[in-house]
Amino acid sequence: MKYYVVDAFADEVFKGNPAGVCVLDDPIDDNTMQKIAAYLSRDLFVVLETEKQLKELTPNFSKMIKLKDGLGVIVTARGTDVDFVSRCFYPKLGVNEDPVTGSAHSNLIPFWSQRLNKDVMVARQLSSRGGTLYCKLAGDRVKISGKAVPYMIGNINI
């Protein structure tokens, strides 16, 4: 199976979020897919008043690790130049700050859609790498897109 690493939600290499992409010649079973891409999404959610507060936020990772609830902490605010902004912290999983977190946006999109009264939005994650996400709420589904830059090609042997 061909495996690519792309910098998703980015215009250039080393920006956005490194994401693995597998190109399948034939379908594989769900169990194998789950082993390749384990998904966890129990996070705590914090809403700040301004984008400036979010940019200036200095998280205490040692305290986050001790939180009883949640795997991570998603912090968001209304954006200045985009609809909303976010930062996502996962020290319990060994990732202090995730560069761009598509899975977090599956919760952020419905949240902001309701508050902004719109189904199509642009979001930006304010990590040091940063990334822009094009978001759409379509009924009970979210659609997330963005630019991607190819970075690496390899193989997975299973």
Sheet architecture: strand order including 17-23: 17-23, 2-8, 148-155
Mean pLDDT of all residues in 138-156? 90
- More reliable by pLDDT, 147 or 33: 147
**Structure confidence at residue 40 (pLDDT):** 36
**Structure confidence at residue 158 (pLDDT):** 80
Mean pLDDT of all residues in 92-102? 91
**Structure confidence at residue 41 (pLDDT):** 42
- Domain count for the chain: 1
pLDDT at 137 exceeding the cut of 60: yes
Question: What is the reported pTM?
Answer: 0.72
- More reliable by pLDDT, 16 or 41: 16
Q: In terms of residues, how long is the chain? A: 158
CATH number at residue 21: 3.10.310.10
CA 51 – CA 87 distance, rounded (Å): 10
With cut-offs at 50, 70 and 90, classify the pLDDT of residue 118: very high
Domain that holds residue 41: 2-155
pLDDT in tens, 40-88: 346 788 899 999 999 999 999 999 888 877 778 899 999 999 999 999 9
CA 59 – CA 56 distance, rounded (Å): 10
